[in-house]
Amino acid sequence: MTSFACDADILIVGAGPAGVAAALMATSLRLRTVVVEAKQVGGKLHTVSTVENVPGGWSTGPQLAQALAADLERLEEDHRCTLLRTHAVAVSGHEDHAELTLDDRRTLTAQAIVVATGVATLTPADASWVTAPDGFASPPLWRTSPDTLTDRTYVLGADRPLGTWLRAYPKAPNTLHVLHPPSDDYKTDEVRDDERIRLVPVSHVTITKPTYGEGWVVEVDSRDGQRTAYAATAVLNNLGAKPAALEGLLQEEDGYCPTDRQHERIRVAGDLRSARYQRIATAQGSGAEAVLACYYATMLQPSGRGAAR
Ligand SMILES: Cc1cc2nc3c(=O)[nH]c(=O)nc-3n(C[C@H](O)[C@H](O)[C@H](O)COP(=O)(O)OP(=O)(O)OC[C@H]3O[C@@H](n4cnc5c(N)ncnc54)[C@H](O)[C@@H]3O)c2cc1C
């Protein structure tokens, strides 16, 4: 256990928009703040090609990610925050502190922990409504340029990056056949009026290699029991994501971690809370709010350290 980590007032896990907003709020309260990030400051922002719903006039995710990285660097230079580049695996809440276990089995302690680890990409092997050959890997839709596609492109899932992709390539002429299970129906409203989209409600999809030639055979079971086979030149992954929950968090059946079900020293912020709150601006608001909730619940009490600051 490192001595500075034991002295942290607050540990923030994940430095996406939620985690960085949490760090800004924590340092504004003069809390000794440690941010733990496994990969890149900015998180999913690095994959968002166009943004139009965040304050500040940012038009791409990477621009905003760069600004957030600069915010954290400034806090580090002022010795108000420490950024640890490592992977966290577990959290636990106790009467007078909270603990974070890292993947090298070190334990960091603090008055409270905000977990903002977001979500991880689902693969066809994770989706019970898709059967695909061993080793089948479909490229992510959001990373695919329209120049490489034909009108026989099939997309697995109707997750939100579909709308972002259509906005990023407003002149893309391709037709995308979007195969989606009942659980994705609510996500289709945003794209159903785009003439490049063919929505295909399915109950199951089976993907095989054709006997001759390139591409894939996509067998679609419709919801009324019909089976139809299509020849696809590309099958793209737009299945969505699963919560990147740390061990020790209380999870709902769908794997998400609502903040009000956790120990009072542990708060959840950003995409990890629910499939329905996955936006940059809500992630930022929830990160700041999570820190305030910890501050009032655990640090302003007589034994809390924040009270002395
Ligand atoms: C393709 C795409 C397009 C999108 N378009 C838009 C859009 O136009 N508008 C919009 O508002 N939203 C959009 N979103 C959603 C938006 O990106 C997310 O809502 C937002 O990034 C969530 O922020 P977050 O901080 O909760 O999580 P993330 O951004 O996912 O950040 C989580 C961070 O935690 C780190 N982490 C994860 N696990 C660990 C661990 N165990 N230990 C340490 N660190 C860990 C990750 O490395 C990551 O940096 C889009 C998302 C995608 C994928």
Is a pLDDT exceeding 60 seen at residue 307? no
- CB 231, CB 210: distance < 8 Å: yes
Dump pLDDT digits (tens) for 19-73: 999 999 999 999 999 999 999 999 999 989 889 899 999 999 999 999 999 999 9
Q: Which of 211, 306, 213, 308 is nearest to 265 (CA)?
A: 306
- For residue 179, how far is its CA from the centre of ligand 1 (angstroms)? 24
User: What's the mean pLDDT in 225-242?
Assistant: 95
Dump pLDDT digits (tens) for 66-85: 999 999 999 999 999 999 99
Burial of 271 (0-12, 13-18, 19+ CB in 10 A): buried
88 Cα nearest atom in ligand 1: 42
Looking at the structure, give the CATH architecture of the domain made up of residues 8-121+241-299. Answer: 3-Layer(bba) Sandwich (3.50)
Is a pLDDT exceeding 80 seen at residue 4? no
Residues 128 and 167: their CA atoms lie apart, in Å, by 29
Is a pLDDT exceeding 60 seen at residue 5? no
Q: Check if 100 has its Cβ closer than 6 Å to any atom of ligand 1.
A: no
Q: Check if 181 has its Cβ closer than 6 Å to any atom of ligand 1.
A: no
- For residue 251, how far is its CA from the centre of ligand 1 (angstroms)? 19
Q: Check if 144 has its Cβ closer than 6 Å to any atom of ligand 1.
A: no
Give Cα 91 to chain centroid, integer Å.
19
Q: How confident is the model at residue 306 (pLDDT cuts 50, 70, 90)?
A: very low
Give me the pLDDT at residue 299, please. Answer: 83
User: What's the mean pLDDT in 207-229?
Assistant: 95
Residue nearest to atom 38 of ligand 1 (CA): 117
Q: How confident is the model at residue 143 (pLDDT cuts 50, 70, 90)?
A: confident
* Structure-model confidence comparison of residues 306 and 193, the more confident one: 193
Give me the pLDDT at residue 135, please. Answer: 83
Q: Check if 270 has its Cβ closer than 6 Å to any atom of ligand 1.
A: yes
Is a pLDDT exceeding 50 seen at residue 12? yes
User: What's the mean pLDDT in 9-26?
Assistant: 98
Give start-end residues of each CATH 3.50.50.60 domain in the chain: 8-121+241-299, 124-237
- For residue 278, how far is its CA from the centre of ligand 1 (angstroms)? 8
- Computed over every residue of the chain, the mean pLDDT equals 92
What's domain 124-237's superfamily in CATH? FAD/NAD(P)-binding domain (3.50.50.60)
User: What's the mean pLDDT in 75-99?
Assistant: 96
User: What's the mean pLDDT in 292-305?
Assistant: 76
Q: Check if 65 has its Cβ closer than 6 Å to any atom of ligand 1.
A: no
Backbone angles phi and psi of 272, in degrees to 5: -65, -20
Q: Check if 239 has its Cβ closer than 6 Å to any atom of ligand 1.
A: no
Give the rounded percent of residues in the chain with a pLDDT score beyond 90: 83
